[in-house]
Amino acid sequence: MLDDFMVNTWISASMIAVVAGVVGLFVVIRGSSFAAHALPLGAFSGGAAASVLGISPLIGLLAFSGLGVAGISQLGRRGRHEVATALSLVMLLGLGALFLSMTTEYSQTVYALLFGEVLGVSSGDLIPVAAGSGVSIALTVMLYRPLLLSSLSPELAEARGVSARRMELLFLTVVALTTAMALPVVGALLVFSLMVGPASAARAVTNQPLRAMLFSAAISVVTVWASIALSFVSNWPIGFFVGALGALAYGLGRTSAWAAVVRP
């Protein structure tokens, strides 16, 4: 578990967990879980396109993440946000199915893009992960106050000159960047699990945003570490443990919050 070939796994998974925990808090506060689910699946289609074209998967992931953000943002201006997200997801998944039908690496590509290759991270993979993590954290820190205000009170934010549409676009951009950076390592499904499970647990424990963000990042890191260790010992998929531990953390958080309310 601590062998040399696992070092890159621990490093990359830790960086992704921190970013997912930080960004995930705003996903939960803004009620954007559907968008956080749709963008990784849409980016998955970009990885399939890159496989067909024989280019770096990161290029395809970034391109299709951008398409997802543009689709949700533009369609959301003319209709309900969840409908815009669903339409964008359907379009991108359709393209993904088309691209996958054109490649001979169908099964391997699908599995890697959906569930990641966290146990096969090379030293070269650490550079884009570190760069993407740094940019995502930096953007989140820069947008923290206006994004928090826009998330908790859109009307007050508008009154103070914070554009709700601009904040939504910037927020989706951060989610898309996090997705593109993390998807080759942990996969589309695990990115969603890490962005929603730990953040929901942290939100249930405290109402203080900054403390909740730190809790979310910590829970996300512990979830990933425990999942890797349990997967190594049991030979079960990491995704199972990530999802199960995320749900367990949320359950414990809700139980703790309920106990604090009913306690005399």
Return the HEC string of 223-234: HHHHHHHHHHHH
CATH label of the domain that carries residue 92: 1.10.3470.10
The whole-number pLDDT of residue 263 equals 56
194 within a domain of the structure (yes/no): no
Query: What is the rounded average pLDDT of the residues 158-173?
Result: 84
Mean of pLDDT values over 127-149: 88
- What's the mean pLDDT when you consider all of the chain? 80
Let me know: does 220 contact 20? Beta carbons within 8 Å. Answer: yes
Residue 56 lies in a domain: yes
What confidence tier does 30 reach under pLDDT thresholds 50, 70, 90? confident
Q: Is residue 41 part of a domain?
A: yes
Q: Is the pLDDT of residue 70 over 60?
A: yes
Would you tell me how many other CB atoms lie within 10 Å of the CB of residue 156? 11
How many angstroms separate the Cα of 190 from the Cα of each of 12, 129, 181, 196, 243?
14, 15, 13, 10, 8
Domain membership flag for residue 255: no
- Report the pLDDT averaged over residues 124-135: 83
Number of domain units in the chain: 1
Say what the pLDDT of residue 179 is: 82
DSSP state letter for 208 = -
Lowest mean pLDDT, pick from 9-18, 68-77, 213-222:
68-77
Model confidence at 216, pLDDT cuts 50, 70, 90, reads very high
Band of pLDDT at residue 4, cut at 50, 70 and 90: low
Q: What is the mean pLDDT of residues 189-201?
A: 84
% of the chain surpassing 70 pLDDT: 86
Residue 220 lies in a domain: no
In the chain, alpha helices (H): 4-29, 33-53, 57-76, 81-100, 106-115, 123-152, 154-159, 164-205, 209-234, 238-262
Poorest-pLDDT segment among 23-32, 76-85, 217-226? 76-85
> pLDDT by residue (tens digit) across 220-258?
999 988 988 888 888 887 778 888 888 888 888 778 777
208 lies in some domain: no
The answer to whether the beta carbons of residues 178 and 191 sit under 8 Å apart is yes
Is residue 91 in a domain? yes
Q: Are 185 and 175 in contact (CB under 8 A)?
A: no
- Name the token pair of 245: 């531990």
- Residue 246 inside a domain? The answer is no
What is the pLDDT averaged over residues 106-118? 63
**3-class SS at 178?**
helix
Give pairs for 211-219: CB < 8 Å, separation 24+: 212/25, 213/21, 213/22, 213/25, 216/21, 216/22, 216/24, 216/25, 217/17, 217/18, 217/21, 217/22, 218/21, 219/21, 219/249
**Which residue range forms the structural domain that includes residue 55?**
4-188
